[in-house]
Structure 1
Amino acid sequence: MLLRSKEDRITTVQTIYLVSSTIIAVGILTLPRVLAEEVGTPDMWISIILGGILSLLTGFLVISLALRHPRRTFFDFSRQLVGKGAGSILSIIFIWYAILLGSFEIRSMGEVTQFYLLESTPIEPLMISMLWVGTYVVTGGINPIARLFELLAPITFIIFFLVIIMGVKLFNTENLLPVLGQGFIPVLKGIAPTFLTNSGIEFMMIWTAFMKEPQKAKKVIFWGIGLPISLYLTAIVIIIGALSLNGTSVETWPLITLIQQYEYRGILFERFESFLLIVWLIQIFATYVICHYIASLGLSQLFGKKLTPFVLIVLPFLYLTALFPQSINDVFTMGDMIGYYSLVVSIAFPVLLLGAARLKGERKGERHETN
């Protein structure tokens, strides 16, 4: 199904914000603790850099596939390359991945909001409120979503950087030393936890079809990944420098703990954790909206129907999946699973489809020579 409507076109800047907003989500709060546990040395920041490089390479792989099929989404060109049956199976796996990721964001939002802001409120109404607001946004289609992100993303990124950098007053350089004191192996162990935080690159197999200037997709990958990685790197360095490795590993949400420990008097805000959580909720909402939209779009293209009915069909799946984890540890386990799932969607799928495209091209060439 070719995307011909001019109303569905999004700019390069909007696409950058779609990618970066998807990546900056739950990970900004959880990644420092997970890396501290996995790496076990202060060299976690090196793992962030290596994970970012891997994400860039993955992004270029994804767009190399998407650019071969102008104005077509993954749900369309996958069936074209490997056949309707196999392509539909790949599409269903992709849709389920989007539902899982969206559910994870919704559940994490509920957990953090309940723990820090609304302790006596059950988690169910917290999730339902965001689901219904998100459903309203998603029914408008890609253009309103992209415009909303273009408005909110710059504000949230700036606030994130400012709030994190203000923690430098607690920073102690000695907490980052020695560099590579236990060699490079611990650093390599820290790459795997970055898979979840970098989830969202695979959605470029959808966004490229909507871009007004798809030839600028490489620019989208560079900035869409570069901005979140810069934010993660800054956060990791300051958190380790302020809380130390041991302090980071025992905190469920290290970034919030850091912000609770510093205070600036004489300005509008003296305590910043609630302010940060509000901004963070916007990013969680952004990631959830993207996942809801992509799952709904995939179903609508598979069945050749309008988007709106599938937005409502996907809604209960998001909610019930979000309720499935029984504890916060189950939520973290779910996140780890999604991280590895993202490797299948962002690396295995493009490699498979690029191979199919090459074989298909060779067969066409063979038939042409025979004729």
Structure 2
Amino acid sequence: MEEPRQITMIQAAAILVSTIIGVGVLPIPLFAVEAADSGAPLVTLLGAMLAFVGLVLVALLGMRFPKKSIVQYSEDIIGKWPSWIGSVCVIGFFAVLTSLTAREFGEVVITAVLTKTPLEVTVIVMLLLAAISTRNDITTFAYIHHFYFPLLLFPVLLIVALSLKSAEPINLQPIWGNEHKEILGGVLTIAALFQGSFILTTVIPAMRRPDKALKASLWGFLIAGGLYVTIVAATVSVFGAEEIKNLLWPTLELAKATSLPANILERLDAAFLAVWVTAVFTTLFSSYFIAIKEVSKLFRLRDHKMFSFFLLPVVFFMAMIPQNILQMYEIIQNVGRIGLCITIAYPGLLLLIAMIRKKRGDPVEK
């Protein structure tokens, strides 16, 4: 059954931004600094550019097959059984990504806000919220993201702008960093934080103008990538690379060190965490939506609602596997790097084969 075509280019870009800006906002300066010290902003920029390659491949595939998602057109390109394996890997990866996002959210909440609340409670509440929300159709999904988009963007930009009064430009020199051994690993880790942009494969079949998917991708990535680079640059310039290595969530510390003019609010960490919770929800919402939506496409079902709670116990169980925060971040980095094969290499392979075999979907009537 064909999706109702109601999503505009602006909504598609908003979905990309609110999906990419998520739980990774807190540790991204640490990941970048561990890779290249003062070259952290450069590593973040390179990671964003690598992730953008994957998004372009997904957008080109979606424009080539405007009525189908990746599970459907992969079958046309490489055949039933090879595509089935690829689709299961995509679904499994985003289910794991959902569980790790929920776990990271739970760890931050019980450490910074609700110190006496059990971890399981915070994780299951967020997963339940996402599961209930995914029972809506793709149009409502787009409206939810579009609504939260300005609530995510402007507060973070405000905090970054206010923090610059404490910035020391010397902390950003040399711009290419002192250590270069870990740069490649850092670029891959940063690129993995952008993998939520894969939601575009699910969004394109519902766009009014699928031919504008590439333009939506460009705008979405410019905003989200620019915000991540700005956050890393601001954090490094305020604290310095060596100090950041001792912080678990540098962006949260940046919010604590920032105040509004005239001391209206002496610390912005409480307001920042409220915005961050919303950002986590939109990211979790998207990754969970990809998983259950593509499962329904895989089994050729008309509706995805039956899987929203069916997948919940599996995701919750996976979220509880890491023993502590350090092991959780180690798993997140490893899973993220492996996932680049699914979000960049797999779409690249599909596009190459589609071009060689001259495969193309039915065009959309304008």
With the length of structure 2 as denominator, give the TM-score of the two structures. Answer: 0.92
The 2-side partners of 1:113 and 1:18 are apart by: 25
Q: Does the 8 Å CA contact 1:29/1:256 hold for their aligned counterparts?
A: yes
Q: Secondary structure at the match of 1:192?
A: helix
Query: In structure 1, what is the equivalent of residue 52 of structure 2?
Result: 56
Query: In structure 2, what is the equivalent of residue 151 of structure 1?
Result: 147
Unaligned segments of structure 1, at least 5 residues: 363-371
Return the offset for 1:177.
Answer: 1.9
1:61-80 matches, cutoff 5 A:
61-80=57-76
1:1-371 matches, cutoff 5 A:
3-6=2-5, 9-39=6-36, 41-180=37-176, 182=178, 187-188=183-184, 190-264=186-260, 266=262, 268-305=264-301, 306-361=303-358
Return the offset for 1:337.
Answer: 2.1
Q: Does the 8 Å CA contact 1:31/1:193 hold for their aligned counterparts?
A: no
Distance 1:250 1:86, change over 3 A: same
Distance 1:48 1:359, change over 3 A: same
Q: Deviations over 1:240-278 (max 9, x none)?
A: 111111011110001111222233464543321111011
Q: Does the 8 Å CA contact 1:137/1:144 hold for their aligned counterparts?
A: no
Q: Does the 8 Å CA contact 1:43/1:187 hold for their aligned counterparts?
A: no
Q: Does the 8 Å CA contact 2:135/2:308 hold for their aligned counterparts?
A: yes
The 1-side partners of 2:344 and 2:324 are apart by: 31
The 1-side partners of 2:261 and 2:61 are apart by: 52
The 2-side partners of 1:4 and 1:112 are apart by: 37
Q: Does the 8 Å CA contact 2:257/2:267 hold for their aligned counterparts?
A: no
Alpha-carbon RMSD across the aligned residues, in angstroms, is 1.9
The one-letter code matched in structure 2 to 1:318 is V
Q: Deviations over 1:82-134 (max 9, x none)?
A: 11111111111100111111111111110101111100000111111112222
Q: Does the 8 Å CA contact 2:60/2:214 hold for their aligned counterparts?
A: no
Bigger drift between 335-344 and 187-196 goes to 187-196
Determine which structure has more spread, i.e. the larger CA radius of gyration: 1
Bigger drift between 351-360 and 80-89 goes to 351-360
Return the offset for 1:185.
Answer: 6.4
Q: Does the 8 Å CA contact 2:189/2:337 hold for their aligned counterparts?
A: no
The 2-side partners of 1:294 and 1:244 are apart by: 38
Return the offset for 1:340.
Answer: 1.4
The 2-side partners of 1:63 and 1:241 are apart by: 35
Query: In structure 2, what is the equivalent of residue 367 of structure 1?
Result: none
Return the offset for 1:307.
Answer: 1.1
Bigger drift between 225-234 and 182-191 goes to 182-191
Return the offset for 1:304.
Answer: 2.0
The one-letter code matched in structure 2 to 1:258 is L
The 2-side partners of 1:15 and 1:279 are apart by: 21
Q: Deviations over 1:157-196 (max 9, x none)?
A: 0011101221112211121123336487665553122122
Unaligned segments of structure 2, at least 5 residues: 360-366
Distance 1:122 1:181, change over 3 A: closer
Bigger drift between 332-341 and 149-158 goes to 332-341
Q: Does the 8 Å CA contact 1:44/1:187 hold for their aligned counterparts?
A: no
Q: Secondary structure at the match of 1:179?
A: coil
The 1-side partners of 2:222 and 2:116 are apart by: 39
Distance 1:145 1:269, change over 3 A: farther
The one-letter code matched in structure 2 to 1:118 is L
The 2-side partners of 1:79 and 1:256 are apart by: 44
Q: Deviations over 1:7-28 (max 9, x none)?
A: xx31111111111122111221
The one-letter code matched in structure 2 to 1:315 is L
Query: In structure 1, what is the equivalent of residue 363 of structure 2?
Result: none
The 2-side partners of 1:13 and 1:147 are apart by: 11
Return the offset for 1:360.
Answer: 2.9
The one-letter code matched in structure 2 to 1:346 is T
The one-letter code matched in structure 1 to 2:349 is L
Q: Does the 8 Å CA contact 1:46/1:187 hold for their aligned counterparts?
A: no
The one-letter code matched in structure 1 to 2:4 is S
Return the offset for 1:138.
Answer: 0.7
